[in-house]
Structure 1
Amino acid sequence: MTEQTRSTPAYAVAHLRQVGVGDAIIEYLTRIDATLAPYGGRFLVHGGPVTALEGVWDGDVVVIAFPSSGAARAWYDSAEYRAILPLRLDHAHSVAAIVEGVPEGYRATDKLAALQGA
């Protein structure tokens, strides 16, 4: 793991579509906060209104912040989260990913420099 990986935040991002809100999803929502706490996870976005600027957006967005990609992965792989994950997977069509953030002060030209090998 690089120093940047340890020092930059990471985000668990999910695009949820066709969520069947019933007992299983209610249980999932009731239990998820307790799974996040040990890993420093917190909701930044949880299904709020989406204003599509390009194309058609269907569904909801969830973004959970973690202090690092290691913490995000440890949460996702934890026994506590794995115990409730089927409640969501079996009742929603979704895609999910962990994405690394960028350090404080990052600028788009930093990416350009990396792409050009500078």
Structure 2
Amino acid sequence: MSAYAIFIKEKTVDPDELTVYAGKAGASLDGHPARVLAAYGGHVTLEGPDHEGVVIVEFPTLEAAKAWYESPAYREAREYRFRGAQYRAMIVEGL
């Protein structure tokens, strides 16, 4: 069953840290069965507080998504994200 990693950027704190994160996060997907479905495109907030952007990455399974999230390459990348912005992140299984 497909799974989706969803990242919601709520507030940028340090743009320089996010620049480093962007390069490392993209590279961390190499070798993982992932497909980026959305990345900071235009959006309309229908309910709740607005946000700065959303990324949605599709994986074939929940286990594959978790394996990428816990991979050494993404663990290194996400440290820059933690310093660069406030995010909400989750993995959701599809139907």
What RMSD in Å do the two structures reach over aligned CA positions?
Answer: 1.5
Cα shift readout 1:49-72 (whole Å, capped 9, x = no counterpart): 111233442221111111111110
Larger fraction in strand: 2
1:98 to partner: Cα distance: 0.6
Q: Number of matched residues?
A: 95
Alignment of 1:69-80 (within 5 A): 69-80=62-73
1:32 correspondence with 2:25: yes
Query: Once the two structures are aligned, what percentage of the paired residues are identical?
Result: 34
With normalisation by structure 1, the TM-score equals 0.73
Q: Which structure is higher in helix share?
A: 1
**Structure number with larger C-alpha Rg:** 1
State yes or no: 1:89 paired with 2:82.
yes
Structure 2 residues not aligned, in runs of 5+:
none
| Structure with higher RCO (Cα < 8 A, 6+ apart) | 2
**Comparing 69-78 and 59-68, the one that deviates more:** 59-68
The one-letter amino acid paired with 1:74 is A
AA aligned to 2:79 is P
In the alignment, structure 1 segments of 5+ residues that lack a partner are 1-7, 103-118
